[in-house]
Structure 1
Amino acid sequence: MTIKKTYKLLLFSLTLMVGLWGCKAYKFVDVSIPPEVKSISIAPIENRAGYVNTQLSPRLTDRLRQKMISQTKLRLVTSGEADWEFSAEITDYSFSTAGVGAGTGGRTVQASQSRLTIGIKITVYDNTKQQSKDYTVTRTYDFPATQTIQQVEQNRAEEMTKDLTDDMFNRIFSNW
C-alpha cells in the first residue's frame, strides 16, 4: 500500500472510531419491562391537588397512553385484564414566589418571578407478582410574576403535559 492510501485508511478508521465512541455517549436507556408483562391498563389520572387545573388530568392521561403504546410493545387493555395497572393522581398544583426584586422607588419589594409546582404520585400494580410500587414525580415551572395563573396554564400547557409525561415514563421504566 502507498503512504497516501495508508494515511486515508488510518484517517477513515480514526473518524469511524471517534464517531462510534461519540454515539455511545448519547445512548438512550432501554425501557426495562419484565418479559412476562405483555399488557397494561391506565386509569384516568385523578386531580387531588388543592388547586385544580381541569385540563391537565385528561391531557396527561391521553399523552401517557399514547407514549406507552408508541414506545413499548405493551398492549393497552381495560382494567382487570392487564399485567400491569397504572393509576396516578396529581397531588400538588401550587404557586409560589420564586424571586423578588425592587419595586418602584427602590423601597418596596415585589415578586419578580413566580413558580408553579406540579406533583404526581403513580402506582403500578403488577398482577403477575401481586404487588404494587409507588413513584413520585415533581416538576417546577418558573414564570414572570406579571403573568396570571391562567396565562401560564394556557401558554405552557403543551410543555407541561410533555414534560410530566416524559418524567412519569422515565421514572417508571428507567428508574430516573
Structure 2
Amino acid sequence: MFLHQFATCKYGFKDAAPIPTEVKNFRVNYFENKAQYINSRLSPELTEKLKQKIINTTRLRQTNSDDAHYDISGYVSQYYTTTQGITGNTAGTNRLHVGFHLSFVNTLDENKNFEADLVRTFDFPSTQSLDQAESALNDEIVRNVVDEIFNRIFSNW
C-alpha cells in the first residue's frame, strides 16, 4: 500500500510566472552578432529559437509591430576561446566564451524594463578546432542562452 501511494505521488513545476492578462503579444528583434569572431549560425538560430520558446510556452502572440507589449532585443557581444586545462605541455581543454547583451522593454509597465549582460562558457577538447567544436556545441549554446533569456523575462527567479 505504501509503495502504491509513493508511486502515484506527483509534483509540478511551471517554467513561466503568470503573465499579466493585459499583455497580449511580443516581438523578438534579430540578435545581431557584434563580437569580433562571427559564428554565422548563432544569431539567426538564437532569434528563431527564442521566438519558438515564447510561442510554445506562453499564450502570447508574436508580432512585428512597434507597439508590441514585450519587446526583446539584444546582440552577441563576445565570442572567443581560452585555454583551460593543461596536460603536460599542451592544452587539454579549451573554453568557448559566448556573451550576449539583452534588452527587455515592457511597453505596459516600464518598471519591468531591464538590460542584462549574459555570459556562458562551453568546454571542448583541445584536439578539436573551433569549427569542429562549434558544430557540436551550437545547439547547446542556443538552448542555454534561450533558456536564460526566457527565465530572465518570464520567471520570478
TM-score, normalising length from structure 1?
A: 0.80
Gaps of at least 5 residues in structure 2 are none
**Identity across the alignment (%):** 35
| Residue of structure 1 equivalent to 2:48 | 62
| Residue of structure 2 equivalent to 1:4 | none
Contact 2:27 2:63 in 1 (8 A): yes
1:92-103 equivalences in 2 (<5 Å)? 92-102=78-88
- Superposition deviation, residue 175 in structure 1: 4.5
- Describe the superposition over 1:20-50 as per-residue Cα deviations: whole angstroms up to 9, x where unpaired: 2xx33xx323412222211101100011112
| Residue of structure 2 equivalent to 1:127 | 107
Question: Does residue 1:29 correspond to 2:14, yes or no?
Answer: yes
- Describe the superposition over 1:67-87 as per-residue Cα deviations: whole angstroms up to 9, x where unpaired: 111111001001313111000
TM-score, normalising length from structure 2?
A: 0.89
CA distance in 1, matches of 2:72, 2:132: 31
Q: Tell which deviates more after alignment, 74-83 or 155-164.
A: 155-164
Paired residue total: 155
Gaps of at least 5 residues in structure 1 are 1-10, 103-108
1:132-171 equivalences in 2 (<5 Å)? 132-171=113-152
| Residue of structure 2 equivalent to 1:82 | 68
CA distance in 1, matches of 2:106, 2:150: 16
- Superposition deviation, residue 137 in structure 1: 2.6
The structure having more radius of gyration, on CA atoms, is 1
CA distance in 2, matches of 1:18, 1:135: 42
- Divergent runs of 4+, >3 A: none
